Amino acid sequence: NAFEYTVPFSSARLGHFTQPKPELGNFLKQDQTLLKILQKNIPKQHYQTVEDDLLRFSERIASEIDDLGFQCEKEKPYVQTFDAWGNRVDQLVTCEAWKKMHNISAEEGLISLGYENPNEEWRRLHQMSKLYIFASSSGLYSCPLAMTDGAATIIRRIENPSSQLLKAFQNLTSRNPEEFWTSGQWMTEKKGGSDVASGTETIAVEQDDGSYRLHGYKWFSSATDSDMAFTLARVVDKQNNVTEGTKGLSLFYLETKKNNGSLNNIQIIKLKDKLGTRQLPTAELLLDGTSAVRVSELGRGVAEISNMLTISRIHTALMAISNMRKLLILSKDYSLKREAFGNLLYIYPLHVQTLARLETEVRAATLFVFQSVLLLSKQESGKATEDELHLLRLLTPLIKLYTGKQAMSVSSEGLESFGGQGYIEETGLPNFLRDAQVLTIWEGTTNILSLDVLRCISKSNGQALISLKNDVDNKLSGTPSELSKEAEKLQMALKSVLQFVTTNQDNLDVLTFAARDLSYSLSRIYMGTLMIEHTASCGMSPVDMYACKRWCEQQLSLVSNHNQYSKQSSDMDKELVYG
Ligand code: UCC
Ligand code: FAD
């Protein structure tokens, strides 16, 4: 008592216990699936260099980059519209950590690696592996990188590019932070982001020197601090008319700043207030006579920008698997540190079962996404067969739509595995859930991508599905007896899906109505196939086999019940929703 009188103030007693936090550690070392993919696909003479680089980069992520990513979430970008003297400046202010991400991206060759020698196809795999490891710790810097990669691909495809475009390509693929550029991709307008053919109101007015001035309102532009962008607009003809629909859209290249550093007749109207991706400056932009160059033939804008979409959709899927893997790494670590009812969490089979189910999802998704990466590198090096080209076209919307949905469910379950801490902002964990939701929306929503799957099947006269079937047959042909039941199940499911498509090939209404179920079915079947192939080619480990079995336990084909796509079902759906 005497002591309390002499010391009237003292800190509160908060108890002795503090929970050790989950640690990321070395990402690559904890991803056996990726390691095996790399071992299988990188030529022996280059393998060690790639592995060393990825291990070093994983260390850098854990010791430096992950904190910067979190900093980007805490110090959100904002726009200073006017300066102190009332001049309109539209200055986008980003935090130091975001700027460091720019430099790291250049130094680490996160874009350049994919372009340095297209004949060495493993370089794309190296690049995409790095991007994968980076994405979930990048504070969303992987978003501008996705569009940058897509932009570089567009320029590389242009025959006889101008010196301006060549210079842009050099900047986009530079390893020098001072020279490195990022790109935007401005497609979405107020009237429509899925249906850009009806939604695009931006017009392009040709100038005497052959360049254009753009006038329009871009409703979503992520990477607002980018140096350049590709965008769509309708060219105004001499009679002052524009062509409506897809055929009226052309693709334009623009630089966001003039030589004097001011914006290229662009106003940043506002930054969006978003559920997630808060690290990312996503703006509404007014194009008020923005100087631009047409880079597609007249009316070929959507077809051309689709090449950019292919790349950025693969990046979106990389982000999905990166988020899932990182969350699982943290959750596993936590289960070794957190006690409940007298035991560490990992002692409880029910807890571990929950994590095992997530692990199965992530493994399957990793194989799925990297299969597309391998096909992309073959396409770019000119070594892809016809079947492989069809497969790449078909898999791109599938990996994007399916892994987006997986990322949502895995992040929700993953957060729960931390109990209440999963809901607490300072842990950084809620970001996983917030940022997963966007993966199902941008770069094409689930339904739009499902319709793209149909577009791909119909444009190829069904060849895309035949290529998929050939690949499944080929991959399952070497199935060891231990997995023969699973292989059979996959083949049966594929047969039922193909039958469904054949039966309804002239019934577009049914196919359209079934597009989402069809896409999920194809994804699950192909993912199961990859798991079996992977298991067989990597020494038939009991754990890989177990994961295959788990995957194939779920319903693989969702389109077997034809009645669910009848006119009657559609009417009843309407009644159920709006009645
Ligand atoms: O969201 C965006 C950026 C977000 C931030 C970056 C994220 C990266 C994340 C990385 C990790 C963090 S940018 C906005 C994205 N917007 C979309 O994805 C649009 C979604 N809507 C669609 O995809 C639609 O399906 C449209 C716009 C393509 C549909 O347009 P149309 O006008 O109905 O298209 P058509 O008439 O069917 O096709 C026009 C041409 C055809 O070629 P031709 O004329 O030769 O027959 C199609 O075959 O375009 C071709 N085409 C394609 N080609 C259409 N889609 C594709 C495709 N996917 N691949 C190849
Ligand atoms: P809508 O097209 O209005 O779609 C609404 C709903 O209708 C969706 O669920 C869709 O699936 C469904 N739907 C539409 N048509 C059909 C159909 N025929 N059949 C069945 N269902 C259908 N865009 C850019 O161009 N550049 C960017 O940098 C960019 N960044 C973004 C950043 C964020 C954080 C977000 C959230 C979006 C960004 N977008 C960007 C926009 C994004 O690409 C679009 O929001 C998206 O493509 C959907 O378009 P929409 O919003 O117009 O939705």
Does residue 440 have a pLDDT over 80? yes
Does residue 141 have a pLDDT over 90? yes
Give the pLDDT mean for 364-392.
97
Q: What is the Cβ-side half-sphere exposure of residue 560, based on CA atoms within 13 angstroms?
A: 9
**Ligand 1: does its nearest atom lie under 6 Å from the Cβ of 143?**
yes
Cβ-based neighbours of 507, under 8 Å, separated by 6 or more: none
Tell me how far apart the alpha carbons of residues 282 and 265 are, in angstroms, rounded to a whole number.
18
Question: Is 119 found in the same domain as 244?
Answer: no
Question: Is 495 found in the same domain as 542?
Answer: yes
Question: Is 197 found in the same domain as 148?
Answer: no
Tell me how far apart the alpha carbons of residues 311 and 317 are, in angstroms, rounded to a whole number.
10
Task: Report the nearest atom of ligand 1 relative to the CA of 315.
Answer: 10
Distance of CA 444 from the midpoint of ligand 2 (Å)? 6
Q: Which residue has the tokens 């003292």?
A: 10
Q: Which residue has the tokens 């597309």?
A: 372
Q: Could you report the per-residue pLDDT of 193-202, keeping only the tens digit for each? A: 999 999 999 9
CA angle 497, 499, 500 (to 5 degrees): 65
In the chain, what percentage of residues exceed pLDDT 90?
A: 94
Do 509 and 477 meet the contact criterion of CB atoms below 8 Å apart? no
Question: Is 239 found in the same domain as 162?
Answer: no
Task: Give the C-alpha distances (Å, rounded to integers) separating 575 from 306, 357, 565, 571.
Answer: 36, 36, 15, 6
Q: Considering 136, 151, 172, which residue would you say is the last residue of a domain?
A: 172
Does residue 475 have a pLDDT over 70? yes
* Nearest protein CA to atom 29 of ligand 1, as residue: 195
Do 311 and 153 meet the contact criterion of CB atoms below 8 Å apart? yes
Q: Considering 260, 279, 302, which residue would you say is the last residue of a domain?
A: 302
Q: Could you report the per-residue pLDDT of 62-72, keeping only the tens digit for each? A: 999 999 999 99
**Ligand 2: does its nearest atom lie under 6 Å from the Cβ of 454?**
no
What ipTM is given for this predicted complex? Answer: 0.99
Question: Is 112 found in the same domain as 161?
Answer: yes
pLDDT of residue 11: 75
Give the pLDDT mean for 213-240.
96
Does residue 459 have a pLDDT over 80? yes
Tell me how far apart the alpha carbons of residues 447 and 23 are, in angstroms, rounded to a whole number.
37
pLDDT of residue 436: 97
Q: Tell me the pLDDT band of 2, cut-offs 50, 70 and 90.
A: low
Question: Is 162 found in the same domain as 202?
Answer: no
pLDDT of residue 120: 85
Q: Considering 172, 202, 220, which residue would you say is the last residue of a domain?
A: 172
**Ligand 1: does its nearest atom lie under 6 Å from the Cβ of 444?**
yes
Q: Tell me the pLDDT band of 110, cut-offs 50, 70 and 90.
A: very high
For the chain, give the longest Cα–Cα distance. 96
Within 343-462, residue ranges assigned H as helices are: 349-380, 386-416, 430-439, 446-459
CA angle 516, 521, 572 (to 5 degrees): 45
Task: Report the nearest atom of ligand 2 relative to the CA of 188.
Answer: 25
Question: Is 256 found in the same domain as 167?
Answer: no
**Ligand 2: does its nearest atom lie under 6 Å from the Cβ of 282?**
yes
Q: Could you report the per-residue pLDDT of 17-39, keeping only the tens digit for each? A: 999 999 999 999 999 999 999 99
Cβ-based neighbours of 128, under 8 Å, separated by 6 or more: 114, 314, 318, 370, 373
Do 400 and 42 meet the contact criterion of CB atoms below 8 Å apart? no
In the chain, what percentage of residues exceed pLDDT 70?
A: 99
Cα-only R_g, the chain: 25
Average model confidence (pLDDT) across the chain: 95
Q: CB 576: neighbour CB atoms within 10 A? A: 9
Tell me how far apart the alpha carbons of residues 143 and 137 are, in angstroms, rounded to a whole number.
12
Give the pLDDT mean for 308-325.
98
Question: Is 204 found in the same domain as 75?
Answer: no
Identify the nearest ligand to the CA of 144 by its number: 1
Question: Is 107 found in the same domain as 192?
Answer: no
* Structural domain count of the chain: 3
pLDDT of residue 1: 54
Tell me how far apart the alpha carbons of residues 209 and 222 are, in angstroms, rounded to a whole number.
30
SS3 254: strand
Distance of CA 302 from the midpoint of ligand 1 (Å)? 6
- In a domain, residue 394? The reply is no
Q: What is the pTM of this model?
A: 0.97
- In a domain, residue 96? The reply is yes
Distance of CA 186 from the midpoint of ligand 1 (Å)? 12
pLDDT of residue 223: 83
Distance of CA 420 from the midpoint of ligand 2 (Å)? 33
- CATH code of the domain in which 249 resides: 2.40.110.20
Q: Tell me the pLDDT band of 3, cut-offs 50, 70 and 90.
A: low
Q: Could you report the per-residue pLDDT of 476-487, keeping only the tens digit for each? A: 998 999 999 999
DSSP string covering 453-466, please?
Answer: HHHHHHHTTTHHHH
Which domain covers residue 509, as residue numbers?
447-579
The DSSP secondary-structure symbol of 1 reads: -
Question: Is 163 found in the same domain as 57?
Answer: yes
pLDDT of residue 199: 96
**Ligand 2: does its nearest atom lie under 6 Å from the Cβ of 442?**
yes
pLDDT of residue 174: 98
- In a domain, residue 314? The reply is no
Task: Report the nearest atom of ligand 1 relative to the CA of 196.
Answer: 27
Q: CB 148: neighbour CB atoms within 10 A? A: 29
Give the pLDDT mean for 362-388.
96
SS3 394: helix
**Ligand 1: does its nearest atom lie under 6 Å from the Cβ of 459?**
yes
Q: Could you report the per-residue pLDDT of 73-88, keeping only the tens digit for each? A: 999 999 999 999 999 9
Question: Is 276 found in the same domain as 141?
Answer: no
Q: Is 113 exposed, middle or buried (0-12, 13-18, 19+ CB in 10 A)?
A: buried
Does residue 7 have a pLDDT over 80? no
pLDDT of residue 121: 87
- In a domain, residue 549? The reply is yes
The H or E element spanning position 35 is helix 32-41
Question: Is 124 found in the same domain as 34?
Answer: yes
CA angle 326, 332, 338 (to 5 degrees): 125
